[in-house]
Structure formats: C-alpha cells, structure tokens
Structure 1
Amino acid sequence: MTDTREAGTADELVAAARQLFVAGVMSHSGHANLSARLDGERFLLSPGWVRDLKADEMATLNFDGEVVDGQLRAAGAEIIAMHSIVYRARPQVGAVIHTHSPAATAFAVAHRPLPCRTEPMLRFGQAEEVPVVPWGPRGSDVSVRGIAAVLEQRPTTAAVLLANHGLLVFGADPQGAAQLVTAIEESAEAELAARALGGAVDFPTGALEAVRASMARVVA
C-alpha cells in the first residue's frame, strides 16, 4: 500500500470479504473478487479467492486495466474490466463485489431476473428486479459490453446477474455492497423456497415508500 488511504480502503475490503463468509453467502470454492474506488481513475482489487484475504494481497489498478501497485495473478487479470466498467458508468459507486453465491447464481444460470420481493433488498438498495447480463467469456469485450448495456438500460439497478456465471453488486462502500450481496442471496433462496408454497408474491404498491419512511423515522 502506498499511502494511508489505500491501506484503510484495503482493510475495508478485507472486512467486507469476512462479512460475506460470516453471512454464509459464498460458494463452496470461496471464489469472489472485491474492489474499491480510490482517488481519480484508480481502484483496489482483490485476488479471485478471498477466504482469509489479507490487505497486502490487493493490487492498485487504473481504469485502463494497468497495475500501478502490487501484483495480480493472470486469472485475476480477466476480471479487471468487469470492475472498471462499473466505476466508469457509475461515478457514485465506491465498491464492486463479484461472487458465485449459489442461489443468486441459480437465477443467473436460468437466465431469470431475480424479483425484489424481500424487505432487505429494498432496504439495502435494490428496489427492483436484478437484471441478467447476456453471457460472454469472463472479462471479454462481449461480457463487458453486455454489463455496460444493462447499466445504461437500468440506471437505478445496484446489481446484475451474469448469465451462466454469478452475481455482480455495487455500492457506496465495501460494507454496503457486501450487505446487498447478502440481501440478494437471501432473497434468491426465499424465492426458490416460496415456489414450493405456490410461488412468491409481489410487494403491495407503495412498499418502497413505506420502507423509506420507516427507516427515516429510525434515523431521526
């Protein structure tokens, strides 16, 4: 790490990775990659397996995919563009997380958008269905263009499902992004379980506004 800010951001990513494992939303392999925006067009990126992630394992990259500090394994290099395209498209995004969370990945494999039918999704920033990005080889121009197109089409989504691959979530900071990963995985599990009971049911009209009002009262 080259400065105190980068070291602090790396610690936030380590904490977010730990948060995902504690929540039990990771795949058997523990595969994931996490990143956080730094100043200008730079971001910190984790390696691809983040179980017991350490701060000194991060690499600093620019949006063109060049490593400016640290080292990145060849396999990790494939996912740089997947993160940088989100930062380019969404200036307000401070962190990006990609996982193979099992229930969410089931929707990605089925090419089925995940509806927003649980309150945690509303509370943690995904008040709409999670759309599906058409399949493309990981990190390829096809995949990255697909992500960019969906982000343009769905300007308020905070997550996308990568067809036949997994989940990509973005938020203001690593903790917030990790909370949304957990909310989405729990919602995907509930959606699948509800099918045995006749199917999940949409929120009533005005649910988002009601949740926002409830949260505002707690903050006040």
Structure 2
Amino acid sequence: MTRTAMTQTPEAQKPEAQQLVEAARQLFRAGVMSHSGHANLSVRLDAERFLLSPGWVRDLEADQLATLDLDGTVLAGELRAAGAEIIAMHSAVYRARPEVGAVIHTHSPAATAFAVAHRPLPCRTEPMLRFGQAEEVPVVPWGPRGSDVSVRGVVEVLAQRPTTSAVLLANHGLLVFGPDAAAAALLVTAIEEGAEAELAATLLGGAVDFPAGALAAVRASMARTAS
C-alpha cells in the first residue's frame, strides 16, 4: 500500500510526534505485533489535545498523525473512517487518567489469546513488574469497536482498577497506557512476553505466582540501580 503524505503540521514537528513514531518502530523491532501490523498509537500534547496514528503503523511517519481534542474533533491532519472508530477509546483513557501521556492499542498475538479467552493475564514475569503492570491485566467486556458499549466498558474497568496500566479488550486485543510513548511501548512488549510465558508454562504444569513482597523487592533493586 502506498503511503499518502499529508501537509506537515506544527504538531507533527513536535518531539511527541517523533516519540510516537519511534514507539511504533520499537514494537515491530520487538516482534510483538500481529501479522497484519494493525495498531493505533496516541500521545498527549496537552490537557486538551493528542496526536493519533492511523490504524496500520508499520511505516508510520509523523506527517500521518492527526491532531484531535478530547471531544474527538480532528483539528489537523486526516483520519480514515476506520481510524475514526477508535478516537473515543483513546480520549476516554486521557479523560480518566490525567497522568497518562500515551496510549497504545495492538493485536499482539499472545495477549490477544487471553482477550479471546476472556481470561485476565496474571502478573507473573518480572518485566511486567518493572514496566508498570504489577497486577493482572483485566478484561473489558466485548463491544463493537469504537462503540459506546466498548468505550463505556473501558471507562468502567479503569474506575474499578485504578492502578492498572493495561486492559484486555475481549475478543479484540490489548490496550496499554503510560507516562509517555516509550514507556507504553515497553509495557506492550512486557505484557506480550508475559502472555507468551504464561501460555508456555501451562505445558510445564502451570505458572506460579511471585512470592509475597516481590514488588517491593523489585522497586528497591531499581532504586539502588538508579542512585
């Protein structure tokens, strides 16, 4: 498919735009994307605006990003109809979590297997602890993509689980959010690796939970390394 370039907007020249492009590239380098390469990524510009990618991001460039407000109005750039369906999902996360700086939705295969099974993904791998998901990834009940039902489900689960940094969209895929695009991409990778390990561990009799105090121990180790 030939990429259609758009007129470079001031927002596309912002560092947040390049960070989003680099996050998309990192997901492909990590090998955590579906065969189709389908995903959508966004990054917050300020309290009222965010940049959003189109739905296929294998060769994402900054001039493909659209600028939107939290009401879903496209302020600059373009979105095809398929891309417009997911605007409300991204804006709902930004509204619910003012501290969130980036949102990533993928169909990462192993994580999506848990979404299809309607099974929460336990946190049993250290990268999930380290990169922001120190609890199971909950499942949002199914609703048509971009529908009020789907978005309402996301909002309700975020309210019920105020410390989760990811949700599984039933029969659909994975939704991750973090302080910036790089952190969100790292968490997508950690969750996909955790899902792969969880599935593989079933062949060995099943995965085992962390011992009590594991999160505190990991945080202490990270603090010592940073100091």
Q: Quick check: 1:32 aligned with 2:51?
A: no
Report if aligned partners of 1:6, 1:38 keep a CA contact under 8 Å in 2: no
Which one of 121, 125, 129 corresponds to residue 118 of structure 1?
A: 125
* Deviation for aligned residue 1:6: 5.3
Q: Quick check: 1:108 aligned with 2:118?
A: no
Report if aligned partners of 2:140, 2:169 keep a CA contact under 8 Å in 1: yes
Over the matched positions of the two proteins, sequence identity in percent amounts to 80
* Deviation for aligned residue 1:70: 0.5
Q: How does 1:140-155 map to 2 (within 5 A)?
A: 140-155=147-162
Q: Quick check: 1:213 aligned with 2:204?
A: no
Which one of 165, 171, 183 corresponds to residue 178 of structure 2?
A: 171
Q: How does 1:123-138 map to 2 (within 5 A)?
A: 123-138=130-145
Q: Which deviations, in whole Å up to 9, do the C-alpha atoms of 1:48-107 show, x marking residues without a partner?
A: 000010100000001111100000111000000010000000000000000000000000
Report if aligned partners of 2:33, 2:108 keep a CA contact under 8 Å in 1: yes
1:135 corresponds to which letter in structure 2?
W
Which residue number in structure 2 is paired with residue 181 of structure 1? 188
Distance in 1 between the 2:203 and 2:23 partners? 33
Q: Quick check: 1:196 aligned with 2:203?
A: yes
Query: May I ask how many residue pairs the two structures share in their alignment?
Result: 220
Secondary structure in 1 matching 2:54: coil
Q: Which deviations, in whole Å up to 9, do the C-alpha atoms of 1:110-154 show, x marking residues without a partner?
A: 000000000000000000000000000000000000000000000
Instruction: Return closer, same or farther for 1:136/1:4 CA change in 2, 3 Å cut-off.
Output: closer
Which one of 74, 77, 91 corresponds to residue 81 of structure 2?
A: 74
Distance in 2 between the 1:4 and 1:192 partners? 41
Q: Quick check: 1:43 aligned with 2:53?
A: no
* Deviation for aligned residue 1:26: 0.1
Report if aligned partners of 2:11, 2:67 keep a CA contact under 8 Å in 1: no
Calculate the aligned-residue CA RMSD, in Å: 1.0
Q: Which deviations, in whole Å up to 9, do the C-alpha atoms of 1:14-39 show, x marking residues without a partner?
A: 00000000000000000000000012
* Structure 2 unaligned spans of 5+: 1-7
Distance in 1 between the 2:110 and 2:214 partners? 24
* Structure 1 unaligned spans of 5+: none
* Deviation for aligned residue 1:3: 3.1
Q: Quick check: 1:13 aligned with 2:56?
A: no
Secondary structure in 1 matching 2:14: helix
TM-score (normalised: structure 1): 0.98
* Deviation for aligned residue 1:4: 6.4
Report if aligned partners of 1:101, 1:185 keep a CA contact under 8 Å in 2: yes
Runs of 4+, deviation exceeding 2 Å: 1-7
Which residue number in structure 2 is paired with residue 64 of structure 1? 71
Instruction: Return closer, same or farther for 1:127/1:161 CA change in 2, 3 Å cut-off.
Output: same
* Deviation for aligned residue 1:8: 1.4
